[in-house]
Amino acid sequence: MADQNIEKVILELKQQPGKDILIGSRSLILQLMKLDLIDQYHLCIHPMVAGGGLPLFEDIDRTVFKLNKTRIFGNGAVMLYYEPTTKSATNGQ
């Protein structure tokens, strides 16, 4: 599957019956965001600072999200469930 067109593969998977498609790879998330193929985002916020890392939403057009659901875990982590509502071209911000 690694040598196939990612847009074609994801569109074919979305047509199949079954569960959601979960993507945890930063590079795949960025590619799928640019192709507008993500229906819902699950962001887990942990109560700690790691002190480094890469930004998740790098080189992405401005996107507005609608919060659909939250879940709080015993360790203080919070899961946020969002769906994109609008996209607009980046205007230098």
User: The domain spanning residue 81 has which CATH number?
Assistant: 3.40.430.10
Structure confidence by residue, pLDDT tens digits, 15-35:
999 888 888 888 899 999 999
93 within domain boundaries: no
84 within domain boundaries: yes
Antiparallel, parallel or unpaired: β 78-88 and 62-72: antiparallel
Please list the ranges in the chain whose pLDDT falls under 70.
Answer: 1-2, 87-93
Which pLDDT value is given to residue 91? 42
58 within domain boundaries: yes
Mean pLDDT value across the chain: 86
Query: What percentage of the chain carries pLDDT values higher than 70?
Result: 90
**pTM confidence score:** 0.75
Total tally of structural domains belonging to the chain: 1
36 within domain boundaries: yes
